[in-house]
Chains A and B, each alone.
Chain A
Amino acid sequence: GAGVSQSPSNKVTEKGKDVELRCDPISGHTALYWYRQSLGQGLEFLIYFQGNSAPDKSGLPSDRFSAERTGGSVSTLTIQRTQQEDSAVYLCASSHDRGYGYTFGSGTRLTVV
């Protein structure tokens, strides 16, 4: 596609429920990143995928968070047993390779009530 697509754009969930966030990167981009942005804050790194290499999960805040990337393309970020502190905008980005600028999606705004 022309850009990075994320879905849903907004998600309201009850505390304790699981959520799945989806990211469709730009076709041909080998690197995919997930970041989290809380209101008025910077971008917090979560996880990175590069080709067929093992992902860098060093930014995941707890074992409730996991992500996968199927076929080197679409990625899904899963948050289990959501907590109120998980409320944030989750941004996905892709790049042609790891040394290039990122193209961000519009994000998924997650609200845990």
Chain B
Amino acid sequence: GQQVMQIPQYQHVQEGEDFTTYCNSSTTLSNIQWYKQRPGGHPVFLIQLVKSGEVKKQKRLTFQFGEAKKNSSLHITATQTTDVGTYFCAGRGSGGSNYKLTFGKGTLLTVNP
């Protein structure tokens, strides 16, 4: 079945440093989504990428979808303490079961003020 791997599992940074998390799928994806889960909270939808090579920005967050639509990344510039949380990627397959998201295990980001 489809697998989505995410690295690193944990990342600790000083406030102001940059942060990147990477997501790789075992199969070609129709689209990929990113979610943020604050400690004690539930996942919150951030963005969806659909096109090969797509790049989208949300303030300090930059999301990329690979040319082969099998990998993606989330980059945060100049982290702040409000960025703390677990970032999940979730891929949707390109076959008949393209309604179901397969989540990566997430990257837990902690920020030292």
Interface centre among A35, A91, A101, A105 (most CB of B within 10 A): A101
| Contacts from B to A (Cβ < 8 Å) | 31, 33, 35, 41-45, 47-48, 88, 90, 92, 97-106
| A103 at the binding interface (Cβ < 8 Å) | yes
Main secondary structure of the interface of B (DSSP, over half): strand
Chain A residues near B (Cβ < 8 Å):
31, 33, 35, 41-43, 45, 48, 50, 56, 91, 98-107
A45 partner, pick from B45, B102, B104, beta carbons under 8 A: B102
CA distance A56 to B99 in the complex (A): 10
Q: Could you tell me if A101 and B43 are in contact, using CB atoms closer than 8 angstroms? A: no
Q: Among B31, B45, B102, point to the contact of A102 (Cβ < 8 A).
A: B45
- The 5 A-B pairs of least Cβ separation, nearest first, read A98-B99, A101-B45, A42-B105, A43-B103, A104-B42
| A106 and B42 within 8 A (CB) | yes
